[in-house]
Amino acid sequence: MLFRQLFEPDSSTYSYLVACPETGECAIIDPVLDTVERDLSVLQAHNLKLTYTIDTHIHADHLSGARRLKGLAGSKIAYPAIDELPCADIGLQEGEVFKIGNIELHPLFTPGHTDHHHAYLIHTPVHSMLFSGDALMIDGVGRTDFQSGDSETLYNSIQQKFFSLPDETLVYPCHDYENRHISSIAQEKERNKHIGGKSLEEFVKIMDNLDLPYPRKIDFAVPGNSECGQCPDNIPEKYQGPCARYDQG
Amino acid sequence: MLFRQLFEPDSSTYSYLVACPETGECAIIDPVLDTVERDLSVLQAHNLKLTYTIDTHIHADHLSGARRLKGLAGSKIAYPAIDELPCADIGLQEGEVFKIGNIELHPLFTPGHTDHHHAYLIHTPVHSMLFSGDALMIDGVGRTDFQSGDSETLYNSIQQKFFSLPDETLVYPCHDYENRHISSIAQEKERNKHIGGKSLEEFVKIMDNLDLPYPRKIDFAVPGNSECGQCPDNIPEKYQGPCARYDQG
C-alpha cells in the first residue's frame, strides 16, 4: 500500500492518500479544496488516477476537495451514509468494509464532534492505521461546542471505539496545529490532555471550559460541505482563492 | 510481522519486540535488565521463543537485558560489530542486512551520541520503521557530552541517515521522558527543537548549552553494558534490584 500524509496549512488539515499497488485504485481521505492542485500533482507523480474521496464528516473549518476532485479526476465521493448527502456517490457505515482495490477500510461510527462523524481504520501487516478525523487529535480532541457536537458522546466514541484498539495503532488525525504528524493509541491514552486518563465528568468539564473562538469558516464551510465542497455564494472575499481558481463543477 | 512497543519506566527506555510470524523468530531491540521478566511474559503470551537481542549502542542510562535474556531464553546477543564486544554473538554493520526470520533489519551507522551508535531500519509493506536509538528522539536528540559523543557527528548522522528517509517513516526512539511513543521523519524535520530546521552551527550551540546533569547510572552502566548487561561490582545499592533478582549468567 502506498501511503502519503499531505498537509493544507491554512486550516492545518491533514489529508491522506492510500493507494493499492495491485489494482492502482486509490483514495484521498479528507481532501481540502485549497490543495486540490497539489493533490493532483501527487497523484500524477505516482501515476495514480483517483478512485475515491472519503470524508470523515461535514467539516466546519475548511471546504472539502471532494466535489472538485470528482470534476477534475473523476473520483467518486464517499461520505458517512448517515449524512444522506445527495452529492455523495457512496455511503459508508460501520460494519460494512469499503474496499479501495485490495485495501479494506473499516468505518467506525464515532459521533461527538459532529453527530455523524466517522473514523476509518486500515489494518496493515504490521500496524493498524486509524484515521481519527476530528474525533481524536494529537494531545487533544475535536471541539464539541457547535454543529451537533456533544462532549459525552465524544467521550464514549473515543473510549469505546479508539481506546479499545491495540496500543501500537497509528493515529493519523485530520488536523494538527503544532506540526505534529502522528501518534499512537498508547500515547493518547497516557497523555492526551483532554481525555487521557480522564473520567467522563472531568472530560465534559474540560470541554465546557475550552473557551474557543468562533470557527472562522463555519458559516460557509458547513453549507458548502453539505454539497461535498461546493463553493457557496456567501464566501467572504478573503477565502475565495481556491473557489476562484476553477469554474464550479 | 508482530510488533510491540515496551517501556521501562525507571530509565524511560522503549524496547521493541519484532517477530516473524512465518518462522517464529523474534528479536527485542534495546532490552532493559529491569524488565527482563516482563519481556519473558510478553514472549510467552505470544508463544514466542526469543531468537536475538539487538542493542543500538553501549547504553549509559540503564543496563541492557541482553546477557540475562541469553541466559534465560537462549537468545543470541547482537551489537554493532564496531563495538567489538567479546560478549556479543553477532556483529551488525551498515550494508549488511540482518534477518530475523523473514524480517530484514538494516543497520545504519549513526555515530554522535556514542561513536559506535547504530540505528535500525525495517521496511514494511506500508511504512518504514526507524528504531532511532539515542540518536534521534521525539523533539530532541541524544546528548553528546559524554562517552565519545560529538555534536557535529550526530548532526551529520541525523541529517544524512535519517532526514533522507521518506517523510512518513515511523520513528521509534529508545527513550521518551514525556510519554510520547512515536514520531515521523516529517515531524522531526519540522519541529525537533534541537535539530529541526537548524544549521550545524545552531545545533552545536544548542547541544553545548543543554546543561544536563551527570548521568546517574553511567559509572556502572557503561562497564556493565560493555559486557552485554553484566551486573558490575560497583553498582550502588539502590540500583541493585534487577541485579539481585537472578544469579548472574
Judge whether residue B246 has pLDDT over 80. Answer: no
Comparison of pLDDT for B232 and A121, the residue scoring more: A121
Of B4, B124, B180, nearest to A125 by CB-CB distance is B124
Element (H, E) at A7: strand A2-8
Q: Which three cell numbers stand for residue B63?
A: 543496563
Residue A102 exposure: Cα atoms within 13 Å on the Cβ side: 8
- The ipTM value here is 0.96
The predicted-structure confidence for A74-115, as pLDDT tens digits, reads as follows: 999 999 999 999 999 999 999 999 999 999 999 999 999 999
pLDDT tens column, A46-81: 999 999 999 999 999 999 999 999 999 999 999 999
Which of A131, A169, A187, A189 is the best residue to mutate to test the B interface, defined by the most B CB atoms within 10 Å of its own CB? A187
Q: Rounded to 5 degrees, what angle do the CA atoms B31, B176, B211 make?
A: 115
State the residue for C-alpha cell 527513550.
B175
Which of B1, B167, B178 is the closest to A125 by Cβ?
Answer: B1
Average pLDDT, chain B: 96
Main-chain dihedrals φ then ψ at residue B241, nearest 5 degrees? -45, -60
**Domains of chain A from N-terminus onward:** 2-244 (3.60.15.10)
CA atoms of B112 and A67, how far apart (whole Å): 50
Distance, in Å, from the CA atom of B70 to the CA atom of A24, rounded to the nearest integer, reads 46
Q: Which pLDDT score, from 0 to 100, does residue A247 have?
A: 56
Compute the average pLDDT of residues A15-30: 97
Task: Please list every residue in chain B whose beta carbon sits closer than 8 Å to the beta carbon of residue A1.
Answer: 125-126
Pair B149, B63: CB distance under 8 Å:
no
Q: Which residue of A has its CA nearest to B185?
A: A181
pLDDT band at residue B247 under the 50/70/90 scheme: low
